[in-house]
C-alpha cells in the first residue's frame, strides 16, 4: 500500500473513532465543551502520539530485532512517563479530568492506575496493527515469490517443448531426405506451419482449442508424410469445440510418445486417438502398440513435462491415467477447460 493511502486510512480511522465517542457523550451533562476538548482532543493526541511512538520507533528499534527485554523495559518507562504527563494535564484542568461525576476528587493513585491501563491499550493496539500489517505483507511477498517461481518453472517447461519437438521432427525429415522422398518439401512446409504456431501463437496462457487441435492435426499429417502409406492412426474429434480455450502445447507430448515408442505402420494395431469435448470438459484418449524391441522405453521428458504443467496449471481440475502394459501404452486425460 502506498504511503499516501496509508496516511489517509490512519487519519480516517482516528477521526471515525473520535467522532464515535463524541456521539456517545454528546448528551451527557457531565461533559462541558472544555471537558470534551481536553479529554477527546488533548488526551486523544497524547494517546495517539503514544500509539505511533510504539508503532514507528519502539517496535522497529527493539521488538523487530528480538530485543524483548529492552523493549519491555522501554515501554514500561514510557508508559509511566506518559502517566505523569497525563496527570500534569489533569492538574491544569482538574474539574474536567480529576473530578468524578459525583463531584468527588480522583486520587493520584486511582487516576495513575487508570491512565496506565489506557496507555497499555494503545500500546497493545499498535503492536497488533504492526504485526498484522507485517504478516499480510509477508504473505503477499511469499505469494509473489511463489508466483515468480511457478512462472519461471512454466517458462522452463515450455522451453523444453520446442527443442524436443524440433529434434524429433528434424529426425523425421532427415529420414525422408536421406531416402530422396518426394514428400520432403511438404514435410518441411508442414513443419514450418507447426513452428509458426509454437513460436508466435502459443505465447498466451491459453489459446483457442480449435487452433490447438489444428496444431495436433498438422503434427499427425507430418508423421503421415514421414511414414507414407504405412502410417495408420485413427484420429477422431467429437463434440463442439466452440470458443473453448486450453493451455497451449499440452497434449502434443502424448502423441509424440505414441509415434516415438509405438507402432504406427501396423494396420491391425493403428494408433487410436480420440478427443471428445462436452461442455467445458475435454476427454483425451490415445493408445498405441509397443515395439517388440522397445517395450521398456519410457516417455522421455515429454510426459514428465506435461504432468508437471497439469499440476501447475490445472490443479484439482484434471485426471490423468496411464496404463503401461506389456504390449500397449494407453493415456487417458480428463480435463476441465
pLDDT in tens, 68-83: 888 888 889 998 888 8
Beta bridge partners of 239: 277
Q: Left if phi > 0, otherwise alpha if psi is -120 to 50, otherwise beta: which for 315?
A: beta
pLDDT of the residue at 238: 92
As a whole number, mean pLDDT of residues 246-259 equals 85
Q: How far apart are CA 335 and CA 280, in angstroms?
A: 9
pLDDT in tens, 170-202: 877 887 788 887 778 888 888 888 878 877 777
Q: How far apart are CA 297 and CA 280, in angstroms?
A: 34
Cβ burial, residue 42 (10 Å; 0-12/13-18/19+): middle
Q: How far apart are CA 303 and CA 251, in angstroms?
A: 9
DSSP 170-236: HHHHHHHHHTT-TTHHHHHHHHHHHHHIIIIIS-SSSEEHHHHHHHHHHHHHHHHHHHGGG--EEEE
Phi/psi for 319 (5° steps) reads -135, 120
pLDDT in tens, 13-49: 777 776 666 655 555 545 666 666 677 677 778 888 8
Where are the domains positioned within the chain? 3-143, 181-336
Cβ burial, residue 103 (10 Å; 0-12/13-18/19+): exposed
Q: How far apart are CA 225 and CA 220, in angstroms?
A: 9
Hey, what CATH topology would domain 181-336 get?
Heat Shock Protein 90 (3.30.565)
Structural contact between residues 50 and 123, judged by C-beta atoms closer than 8 angstroms: yes
- Residue 54: name the closest of 28, 31, 82 by CA: 82
More confident residue, 280 or 300: 280
Structural contact between residues 275 and 282, judged by C-beta atoms closer than 8 angstroms: yes
For the cut 80, the answer to whether the pLDDT of residue 162 exceeds it is: no
Query: pTM here?
Result: 0.55
C-alpha cell at 312: 501447475
Q: For the packed helices 184-196 and 108-178, what is the interaxial angle rounded to 10 degrees?
A: 170
For the cut 90, the answer to whether the pLDDT of residue 283 exceeds it is: yes
Share of the chain above pLDDT 70, in %: 79
Q: DSSP 3-state assignment of 28?
A: coil
Q: What is the mean pLDDT of the chain?
A: 78
Q: How far apart are CA 335 and CA 246, in angstroms?
A: 10
Amino acid at each position: 500500500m502506498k504511503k499516501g493511502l496509508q496516511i489517509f486510512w490512519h487519519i480516517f480511522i482516528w477521526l471515525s473513532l473520535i467522532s464515535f465517542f463524541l456521539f456517545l457523550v454528546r448528551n451527557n451533562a457531565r461533559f462541558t465543551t472544555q471537558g470534551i476538548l481536553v479529554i477527546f482532543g488533548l488526551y486523544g493526541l497524547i494517546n495517539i502520539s503514544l500509539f505511533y511512538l510504539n508503532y514507528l520507533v519502539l517496535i522497529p528499534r527493539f521488538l523487530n530485532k528480538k530485543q524483548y527485554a529492552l523493549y519491555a523495559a522501554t515501554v514500561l518507562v514510557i508508559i509511566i512517563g506518559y502517566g505523569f504527563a497525563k496527570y500534569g494535564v489533569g492538574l491544569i484542568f482538574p474539574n474536567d479530568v480529576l473530578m468524578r461525576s459525583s463531584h468527588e476528587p480522583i486520587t493520584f493513585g486511582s487516576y495513575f492506575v487508570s491512565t496506565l491501563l489506557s496507555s497499555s491499550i494503545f500500546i497493545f493496539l499498535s503492536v497488533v496493527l504492526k504485526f498484522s500489517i507485517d504478516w499480510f505483507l509477508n504473505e503477499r511477498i511469499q505469494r509473489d515469490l511463489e508466483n515468480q517461481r511457478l512462472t519461471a518453472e512454466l517458462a522452463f517447461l515450455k522451453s523444453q517443448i520446442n527443442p524436443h519437438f524440433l529434434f524429433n521432427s528434424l529426425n523425421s525429415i532427415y529420414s525422408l531426405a536421406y531416402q530422396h522422398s518426394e514428400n520432403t518439401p511438404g514435410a518441411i512446409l508442414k513443419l514450418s506451419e507447426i513452428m509458426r504456431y509454437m513460436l508466435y501463437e502459443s505465447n498466451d496462457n491459453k489459446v483457442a482449442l480449435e487452433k490447438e487441435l489444428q496444431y495436433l492435426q498438422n503434427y499427425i499429417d507430418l508423421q503421415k508424410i514421414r511414414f507414407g502409406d504405412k502410417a495408420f492412426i485413427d484420429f477422431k474429434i467429437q463434440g463442439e469445440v466452440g470458443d473453448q480455450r486450453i493451455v497451449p502445447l499440452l497434449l502434443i507430448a502424448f502423441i509424440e510418445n505414441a509415434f516415438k515408442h509405438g507402432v504406427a505402420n501396423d494396420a491391425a494395431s493403428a494408433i487410436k486417438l480420440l478427443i471428445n469435448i462436452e461442455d467445458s470438459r475435454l476427454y483425451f484418449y490415445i493408445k498405441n502398440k509397443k515395439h517388440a524391441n522397445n517395450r521398456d522405453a519410457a516417455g522421455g521428458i515429454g510426459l514428465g513435462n506435461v504432468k508437471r504443467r497439469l499440476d501447475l496449471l490445472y490443479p484439482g481440475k484434471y485426471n490423468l491415467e496411464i496404463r503401461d502394459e506389456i504390449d500397449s501404452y494407453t493415456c487417458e486425460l480428463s480435463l476441465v477447460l
